Structure 1
Amino acid sequence: MLATRSIDPSERGAWLRLIRTRRVGPHSFWSLLDRFETAQAALAALPELSRQGGAKQPLQPFAADLAEQEYRALRDLGGHLLVAVDGVFPPLLRQINDPPPVLSVRGNPDLLARPSVAMVGARNASTNGQRFAAALAQSLSAEGFSLTSGLARGIDAAVHHATVEDGQTVAVVAGGVDIIYPREHGELYQHLIDRAVAVAEMPLGMQPTARHFPHRNRIIAGIAVATVVVEAAKRSGSLITARYAADFSREVCAVPGNLLDPRAAGTNQLLRDGAALVCSAQDVLDCLPPVQTLHEPKTVKPSAQPLTKLADDDVRAARDSLLKCLGPTPCSIDELFRECQVPARLGAAALVELELGGTVERTAGNLVCRLI
């Protein structure tokens, strides 16, 4: 688990440059940091790593002047750039595997330290569903929880409207933190940054597309100690949030719905799969430890034996082994490592080189496939 610590401004800027570099995502970022210890060292190594991974033209790091431009633009908006080791970074989000290294924040970042419950659901929610979500959100807020949601229409909007006046809500947006989506939530968004907080993983100015929403859902589930789903169809994105919550060993809760309403099919399925049934705030509270114990700082014991530095020859051998096993059909990364008999840490470093070189692509569900 990551421990909080201070990093100097040059290294902070290098974190932003590294995560903004093409072909570098959270998995690659943390593997590079594990291998090279600092983002500055990882940036210096990127061109050669990409060449070793099969790139015809070496991959160039994200330009320092563009990173500075993004930082200044965010600051001009009154925003903050958080890195995952900052003390104000959401504590539970920091605990997940490969958390977002950098978050852009508008509003009050101190709110991110509060224990939070995520509440998500249908965009075309029923009137009763929105009323129930608002009432449940207010009740949980009164118990000391902030409510995290995704600023979408329907259930998300009902949750934010119900809790924004008390500053008890966190909005996670799919695009840049300066992009209001959907547009009709402009007034709500302004209330959020005035009284609460909005966060984003994507760069400023990034318009949200379909591929961004799973990343947003992952952050929503990661911030919260529990995720409550209120109305969701069988293929609803809210179920992705619930799946992430389960993967993070967080509580998954669902509100039952009418069997004849398609908007209840997903929530009813969650209940059949073992989610906690929620009819009131007390049902959510019964799933959780006392609010006073949540987010208490945990002492991170230093490793008795520091990790050994990965040898370039070992990474090269692992890379060759992975390439022999990989094909165009996506396969599980864990199974790939087992099949090739490559240790996970070594395999992760080799896989990053292949990703940087454009030889392989990582897909949803911790899968990877060969491109060339």
Structure 2
Amino acid sequence: MDSAELKAWLRLGLTEGVGDVSARALLQHFGLPDAVFSASEAALRECVSPRQALALLREPPELEDLLAKTESWLSGAPQQRCVVTLGDSAYPEALLNTEDPPLLLYVLGRIDILAAGFAECSRTGVAIVGSRNPTPQGTQNARQFSAALGEAGMTVVSGLALGIDGAAHEGALSGYAHSGWSTVAVVGTGLDRVYPRAHLDLAHRIAERGVLISEYPLGTAPHSANFPKRNRIISGLCKATLVVEAALKSGSLITARMAVEQGKDVFAIPGSIHSPQARGCHALIKQGAKLVESAQDILDELPATSSPSSDGSVGAGSSVAAPSVELSSLELGLLNALGFEPTSLDMLQQRSGMDTATLQALLMGLELSGWVARLPGGKFQQLGRA
């Protein structure tokens, strides 16, 4: 794409009062953006309102700065970068078939396999989303499900947010075992920014083995309205969506609803009936989402590309894997008393009958070996076992 064509696409996106719906109507009528801006006011009024027509005749004052910034970004290194427009042959077909495809996609990372990556993502991609404040079990589930799906040749798509999103990307990177993208991060800022900053290193690693995608111009700050909107891209790129943990009112349920509207499968992991972070998943299951207990449940529904391992399993078929530490009978007894719900020290003492010193020593050992997580409020939670 040359500078003039890029400028026309950027101008269309910047024009005040002209949203994606009106922009697509203009493109359908006139063809490419340069034809839109060559049209008369009378011709423009056949597609848009008089106010929008007048706005289209005026060049946005910030256009030249954005063009210079975008061209500078495109020539940057070391990661590969590109801008994919709605009229580009590389534009993902899966998004074209959604109700609200973005006009532009800024892409950072492995664009050498752009068309193939988008095609594979639409065939075997799984969006993994959930709470920004997950339980330790939720974080572990997200990481291990993602690793198992990555080992099976699937692409994991998420939103680079704190919590479940970050764990999903990490798991996908660790389980990467195919020639395509390990993971795709769809962000709610310009790609010249990383939000949250805590995920700066993660974003760099995603760019090495996958891609980061944004519909927002360079320089766009993390406005709260951007994140629910970008969720349609997360679900739209994929074959299915998995919700790991979610409260009843959360962005993850927005993603799940969008997936349903797009005709995609929705999976949900159940949790404790006492956990607020499980209620969204339980609500989805009541509404028809498929309950999953392991990554294999998803692979059975969405056959992936890699061959099973020598023992007949595909990746980490269980939703959780036991740490490779041999436990004593006292530790096993304490884990049975703990169960899988957050439990206070007093309650554990009542259930186990152990004295405080013994109980605290055992809990510390189990925590260090990865069997137990310490939660706020002085509670403990057992992490999953195979």
The answer to whether the superposition gives a TM-score over 0.5 is yes
Residues 34 and 132 from structure 1, CA distance in 2 versus in 1: closer, same or farther, beyond 3 angstroms? same
1:99 aligns with 2:95: no
With over 3 angstroms needed to count, the CA separation of the structure-2 counterparts of 1:43 and 1:56, relative to structure 1, is closer
CA deviation digits over 1:120-153, x for unaligned, max 9?
0000001111111111111111221110000011
In the other structure, the counterpart of 2:157 is 148
Q: Deviations over 1:288-327 (max 9, x none)?
A: 36659xxxxxxxxxxxxxxxxxxxxxxxxxxxxxxxxxxx
Partner of 2:342: none
Helix, strand or coil: the match of 1:105?
strand
The residue that corresponds to 1:185 in the other structure is 199
* Counterpart mapping for 1:344-363 below 5 A: none
Where 2:54 maps in the other structure, the secondary structure is coil
SS in 2 for 1:114: helix
Q: Distance in 2 between matches of 1:221 and 1:207?
A: 22
Q: Which runs of 5+ in 1 are unaligned?
A: 1-6, 293-372
* Corresponding residue number in structure 1 for 2:126: 117
Instruction: Kindly tell me the number of residue pairs found equivalent between the two proteins.
Output: 286
Paired residue for 2:280, among 266, 277, 281? 266
What is the letter of the counterpart of residue 126 of structure 1? T
SS in 2 for 1:286: helix
Tell me the residue number matched to 2:264. Answer: 250
TM-score, normalised on structure 2? Answer: 0.68
Pairing of 1:70-85 with structure 2 (within 5 A): 70-78=69-77, 79-85=81-87
Query: 1:263 & 1:123 partners in 2: Cα distance?
Result: 10
CA-CA distance at 1:25 after TM superposition: 2.4
Secondary structure of 2:189 counterpart: coil
Partner amino acid, structure 2, of 1:26: D
Q: Any idea what the Cα deviations from partners look like across 1:319-356, whole Å, max 9, x if unmatched?
A: xxxxxxxxxxxxxxxxxxxxxxxxxxxxxxxxxxxxxx
Question: What is residue 11 of structure 2 aligned with on the other side?
Answer: 17
8 Å contact 2:126–2:155 — kept in the other structure? yes
1:69 aligned partner, one-letter code: A
The farther-off stretch of 113-122 and 218-227 is 113-122
Q: 1:198 to 1:154 in 2, by over 3 A?
A: same
Aligned counterparts, 1:272-287, within 5 A: 272-287=286-301
User: Which is bigger in relative contact order (C-alpha 8 A, separation at least 6)?
Assistant: 1
Q: Distance in 2 between matches of 1:218 and 1:132?
A: 23
Matched letter for residue 175 of structure 1: T
Q: 1:356 — aligned with what? A: none
Deviations 1:221-279 (A, max 9, x none): 11111010000001110111111111110111111111110001111000000011111
1:158 matched to 2:167? The reply is yes
Scaled by the length of structure 1, the TM-score of the pair is 0.71
Q: Paired residue for 2:138?
A: 129
CA pair 71-56 structure 1, distance change in 2 beyond 3 A: closer
Pair 1:140–1:41, CA change in 2 (3 A): same
Counterparts of 2:52 and 2:93, CA distance in 1: 41
Pair 1:55-2:51 in alignment: yes
Residue of structure 2 equivalent to 1:328: none
Partner in structure 2 of residue 221 of structure 1:
235
1:189 Cα deviation after fit: 1.3
Answer with 164-173 or 261-270: which moved more: 164-173
| Equivalent in the alignment of 2:254 | 240
Distance, in Å, in 1 between the alignment partners of 2:53 and 2:36 is 18
Shift of 1:17: 2.0
The letter of the residue matching 1:153 is L
How many Å separate the matches in 1 of 2:277 and 2:208? 33
Cα distance, 1:46 vs structure 2:
8.0
Tell me, what secondary structure is at the counterpart of 1:202? coil
Unaligned runs of 5+ in 2: 307-386
Q: CA deviation at 1:35?
A: 1.5
Provide Cα deviations, 1:81-133, integer angstroms capped at 9, x if missing partner: 11134343333123213311211111112243432110000000011111111
Structure possessing the higher radius of gyration over alpha carbons: 2
1:30 is aligned, of 24, 44, 47, to 24
Shift of 1:26: 2.1
Q: How far apart, in 2, do the equivalents of 1:22 and 1:145 lie?
A: 40
